[in-house]
Every structure is written in C-alpha cells, then in structure tokens.
Amino acid sequence: MKGFLYRLVITALGLWAASAIVPGVGFRSWPTLLIAALLLGIVNAVVRPILLFLTFPITILTLGLFILVVNGISLALVAWLLPGFTLNGLGAAILGSIVVGLTSWLASTFVGGSGRIERFRRIEVRSRRIDE
C-alpha cells in the first residue's frame, strides 16, 4: 500500500511539473491533481495496452515515436474524464506526457520494487598493494 501511495505522489508531482512547464496543461486544485494521477494510473493500466496493440503497425513504421502520441492520448483521456484538469490540444498532451514520464522515471529511481524508498550508498573499493 505504501508503494502505491508513493507512486501516486510521484505521478502527481509529474503532473504538477507538466503544468508548470508546458503551456496548456493546468489543474484547478491539489485534490484534482491527485485524482488526475490516480486516473492516469488506471488509464495506463487498462486503456494504454489496448491503444498500443491497435497502433502497433504505426508504431513500427515510426520506429516507436508514435508511443509519444499514445501517451498524449492517455493524458488527454484523463483530462476529458476529470473536469478540473485541462489540456489545450494534443500537442500540450504529448509534451505533458513527456514531462510526466521523465519526472516519474527520475523519481522512481529512488523507490524500489517493493515501494520502499531507497538511497544510494557510496561504495568504497579498497585495493591491496602486494609488494614482491
């Protein structure tokens, strides 16, 4: 449960960063942002695999770049379902999904598979010198 909440907050921070960086992405309040993060997780789990399957030939032809459009469509679907979350066009949706994806990827490096926050430790390597 803790891992789910961490990932929800990470996605919400990604959506907040997208609204701060990308013109045309906006939200009304913080609860709306958390609901949008939850809806985005549901859309990515249910609708996105279907879209990826249906658009597989186009994705192959564009060497995978069409996945950016599919991610934008997923974000646009969240904006369509949630009244307080707004997107101004598919371009804003695609750029917003890139920002959300990058921030989620960056923040997820600190959260392990079990949902625990991990920290990086500095590993010291000591070598011995053998005098002959």
Condensed to tens digits (0 to 9), the pLDDT of residues 2-22 reads 778 888 888 999 999 999 999
Mean pLDDT, to the nearest integer, of 112-119?
Answer: 64
Return all residues near 20 (Cβ < 8 A) that are at least 6 apart: none
* pLDDT value at 117 more than 70: no
Q: How far apart are CA 16 and CA 26, in angstroms?
A: 8
Four-residue CA torsion sign, 81, 87, 89, 95: negative
CB 25 within 8 A of CB 86: yes
67 vs 59, 84, 122, CA distance in Å?
7, 26, 36
pTM check: above 0.75: yes
35 vs 123 pLDDT, higher one: 35
> Token pair for residue 61?
């032809």
